[in-house]
């Protein structure tokens, strides 16, 4: 199996390892064009972003020539809404490092013609030479990006209706569940599988069943992350709790 699994003692260790892998890739592609990263939002990568920011601050890492493509964005929130993924990325990462704003890509989910915007997003990824490293979080329901259970595996960037379980899980960021958007634009499983390498991060007991399904279960659209078993270069970094149901660890 092409999936390399590392189980860490705690979230800080997970974050340091994840940041180390991103830094290694960025340093391996100096000059123009630099590394192309795929990035997630959510709680899980926050420690990794903090660590990458401190590497930039101590002068050991630069994002000068790095390009990024975010996985997804809600439909109906403006980029300056504090729950939008545009806002999250600026707040938690981009504004603290030397990445160039024109090298940042996040789906414009409010475009008048969303389908054309999705096709354009895929075209931009191709023009950038494809994604070198896609960093992923994992939903409690096994989603990656906003590819919910029963997603079509070959799909590229597209508009999706969010699963009820995702709306509930993400309500913690909003003042009420009614404010959680019902739709999003996400890279598809097909877009994710085209990335040259993938790093999946999961922390906490709530993720343990999805982790087990993704790594040890059958490959099935019912658990979208299980598609990663088909990919040739996947690194999974877990803390003990997220790994607690795995047979092999």
Question: Is residue 167 exposed (0-12), middle (13-18) or buried (19+ Cβ within 10 Å)?
Answer: middle
Question: Is residue 31 exposed (0-12), middle (13-18) or buried (19+ Cβ within 10 Å)?
Answer: exposed
The token duo for 195 is 């990335």
Query: Is residue 98 a contact partner of residue 63, using CB atoms and an 8 Å limit?
Result: yes
Interaction of residue 226 with ligand F6R, rule CB under 6 A: no
Query: Is residue 69 a contact partner of residue 128, using CB atoms and an 8 Å limit?
Result: yes
3-state secondary structure of 110: coil
Name the minimum Å distance from CB 227 to ligand F6R. 13
Comparison of 44 and 235: residue with beta carbon closer to ligand F6R: 44
Comparison of 138 and 214: residue with beta carbon closer to ligand F6R: 138
Q: Tell which one of 47, 137, 188, 190 touches ligand F6R (CB under 6 A).
A: 137
Interaction of residue 190 with ligand F6R, rule CB under 6 A: no
State how far Cα 26 lies from the chain centre: 17
Question: Which of 15-23, 30-38, 106-114, 131-139 is the region at the interface with ligand F6R (rule: CB under 6 A)?
Answer: 131-139
Q: Which of 70, 72, 132, 147 is catalytic?
A: 72
Instruction: Find residue 73's DSSP bridge partners.
Output: 185
The DSSP bridge pattern shows strands 234-239 and 3-8 to be: parallel
**One character per residue 24-63, x = contact with ligand F6R (rule: CB under 6 A):** ----------------xxxxx-------------------
Q: Tell which one of 144, 195, 225, 242 touches ligand F6R (CB under 6 A).
A: 144
Helices and strands in the chain, H and E counts:
7, 10
Residue 141 among the catalytic residues: yes
In the sheet that holds 36-39, the strands lie side by side as: 3-8, 234-239, 197-202, 133-136, 36-39, 67-70, 104-105
DSSP 97-123: S---GGGEE---TT-SSHHHHHHHHHH
Interaction of residue 107 with ligand F6R, rule CB under 6 A: no
When CB distances to ligand F6R are compared, the closest residue is: 137
| Number of chain positions touching ligand F6R (CB under 6 A) | 14
Would you call the peptide bond into 33 cis, given omega within 30 degrees of 0 as the criterion?
yes
Q: Which of 73, 122, 132, 148 is catalytic?
A: 148
Residue 72 among the catalytic residues: yes
The token duo for 37 is 């990263």
Comparison of 64 and 79: residue with beta carbon closer to ligand F6R: 79
Comparison of 145 and 213: residue with beta carbon closer to ligand F6R: 145
Comparison of 31 and 92: residue with beta carbon closer to ligand F6R: 92
Q: Tell which one of 72, 122, 148, 163 touches ligand F6R (CB under 6 A).
A: 72
Q: Which residues of the chain form contacts with ligand F6R (CB under 6 A)?
A: 40-44, 71-72, 137-139, 143-146
Question: Which residues are part of the catalytic machinery?
Answer: 72, 141, 143, 148
């Amino acid at each position: 199996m092409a999936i390399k699994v590392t189980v860490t003692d705690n979230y800080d260790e997970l974050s340091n390892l994840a940041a180390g892998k991103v830094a290694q890739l960025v340093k391996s592609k100096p000059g123009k064009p630099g590394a192309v990263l795929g990035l997630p939002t959510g709680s899980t990568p926050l420690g990794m972003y903090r660590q990458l920011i401190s590497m930039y601050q101590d002068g050991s890492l630069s994002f000068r020539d790095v390009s990024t493509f975010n996985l997804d964005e809600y439909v109906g929130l403006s980029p300056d809404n504090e729950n939008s993924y545009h806002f999250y990325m600026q707040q938690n990462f981009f504004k603290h490092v030397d990445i160039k704003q024109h090298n940042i890509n996040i789906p414009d989910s409010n475009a008048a013609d969303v389908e054309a915007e999705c096709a354009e997003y895929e075209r931009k990824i191709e023009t950038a030479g494809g994604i070198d490293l896609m960093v992923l979080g994992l939903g409690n329901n096994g989603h990656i990006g906003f590819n919910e259970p029963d997603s079509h595996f070959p799909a590229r960037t597209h508009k999706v209706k969010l699963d009820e379980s995702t709306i509930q899980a993400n309500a913690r960021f909003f003042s009420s569940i009614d404010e959680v958007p019902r739709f999003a634009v996400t890279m598809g499983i097909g877009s994710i599988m085209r990335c040259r390498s993938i790093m999946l991060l999961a922390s906490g007991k709530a993720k343990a069943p999805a982790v087990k399904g993704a790594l040890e279960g059958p490959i099935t659209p019912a658990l979208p992350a299980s598609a990663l078993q088909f990919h040739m270069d996947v690194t999974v970094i877990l803390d003990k709790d997220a790994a607690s149901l795995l047979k092999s660890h």
